[in-house]
Amino acid sequence: MKNYKIALIPGDGTGPEMLQEGVKVLQAAAKKFNFNLEFQEFDYGGERYLSSGEVLPAGAVEELKQFQAIYLGAIGHPDVKPGILEKGILLKLRFELDQYINLRPVKLYPGVETPLKDKGPEDIDFIVVRENTEGLYTGSGGFLRKGTPHEIALQESINTRFGVERCLRYAFECCRRRNKKKTLTLCGKTNVLTYAFDLWERTFHKVGEEYPDIQREYAHVDAISMWMVKNPEQFDVIVTDNLFGDIITDLGAMLQGGMGIAAGGNINPGGTSMFEPIGGSAPKYTGKNMINPLAAICAGGMMLENLGENEAAAAVEKAVMAVCAKHIKSLSAGRMGAGTSEVGDLVVSNL
């Protein structure tokens, strides 16, 4: 029997209770589809930082590399200054493990309410491929004359040909694999960011020559935000830089019903990838059995697909769809008509 070693980072707030339901579903899928999942838990997060002053211990990254995947709950603690845990854990792992793709499907499941009342599951089904190791996220920049009236703050967007090209290539491959509209849309801002997105655009068309079966489209980030709401059905795969990807995937999460269902993968195609619900740690719901675990369960499904367990991944998605369509009232925390663990149980029984 195939055995997968998975690192679990439950993290902060509602992260642990969401992940617990995810693990429940993954174990059920493993049993049904005949493979074995071996989980090892790591206590990285706000509590550990508050008690030890340490975000990630020395050697943590090397240790995590020994796993076939990482399953993450949420990072972010109300008593820790914003940025410390995000940069010290989440971004550090994405960068050090070279998870250069952030993959975020936007897909409306049957029975789920979207703010776009006249759109259905056939209209909202696209994937955002977000570059995950460069752009404005590298921390490049600095202060000059800090704290004085003449202070200057610089924050630089780093775009390398290598980084841009590997991301675009992943997006073309993803579009080909999906085999839906065969359209890849580059989301940029070529009218203002004339260096960064010039590189993106040139590389897009150059790499695109190798994919004659894929149609290339371009849209500015502001326009794409409008079209995601107005005509979501026109999108198949969208590829973009790190910051724009961050922003448009929160919008995408709302189109598919909210943070209760939105999942993502931080992918290093040749290394250790990490899967997480894309929302935050929602500290106010901690321990209340109110948070929706479906986003974490969907992230678990993405992890199975990434491991090559395609049948199990499809079954988890189908079970989630059934739970959305038949069993829960809303995707919002506290309004599901069932608790966190009951929703996990429902997915398992539909599996």
For 103, phi and psi rounded to 5 degrees? -105, 120
Identity at 16, one-letter amino acid code: P
Q: Of ligand IPM, Mn ion, none, which one sits near residue 30, judging by CB under 5 to 8 A according to partner kind?
A: none
* Rg (the chain; Cα; Å): 20
Q: Of ligand IPM, Mn ion, none, which one sits near residue 86, judging by CB under 5 to 8 A according to partner kind?
A: ligand IPM
Contact pattern from residue 281 through residue 320 relative to ligand IPM, giving x for each residue in contact according to CB under 6 A and a dash for the rest: ----------------------------------------
Minimum distance of Mn ion from residue 250's CB (angstroms): 6
Contact 208, 182 (CB under 8 A): no
Contact pattern from residue 261 through residue 300 relative to Mn ion, giving x for each residue in contact according to CB under 5 A and a dash for the rest: ----------------------------------------
Contact 187, 240 (CB under 8 A): yes
Considering the rule CB under 6 A, would residue 56 count as an interface residue with ligand IPM?
A: no
B/e letters for 212-243, b = 16+ CB within 10 Å, e = fewer, are eebebbbbbbeebbeebeeebeebbbbbbbbe
Considering the rule CB under 6 A, would residue 86 count as an interface residue with ligand IPM?
A: yes
Minimum distance of Mn ion from residue 82's CB (angstroms): 13
Residue 17 or 246: the one with the smaller Cβ distance to Mn ion is 246
Considering the rule CB under 5 A, would residue 131 count as an interface residue with Mn ion?
A: no
Q: Provide the CA 132 distance to its chain's centre, in angstroms.
A: 10
Minimum distance of ligand IPM from residue 86's CB (angstroms): 4
Considering the rule CB under 5 A, would residue 246 count as an interface residue with Mn ion?
A: yes
Site size with ligand IPM, rule: CB under 6 A: 5
Sign of CA dihedral 276, 281, 286, 292: negative
Considering the rule CB under 6 A, would residue 90 count as an interface residue with ligand IPM?
A: yes
Residue 83 or 270: the one with the smaller Cβ distance to ligand IPM is 83
Q: How many CB atoms lie within 10 A of CB 247?
A: 14
Minimum distance of Mn ion from residue 169's CB (angstroms): 24
Considering the rule CB under 6 A, would residue 187 count as an interface residue with ligand IPM?
A: no
Spell out the alpha helix ranges (H) of the chain.
15-33, 46-52, 60-64, 84-85, 92-96, 161-178, 196-208, 221-230, 242-255, 294-307, 310-322, 340-350
Q: Of ligand IPM, Mn ion, none, which one sits near residue 21, judging by CB under 5 to 8 A according to partner kind?
A: none
Find where tokens 């090559």 sit.
Answer: 308
Residues that bind Mn ion (CB under 5 A): 246
Residues that bind ligand IPM (CB under 6 A): 86, 90-91, 246, 278
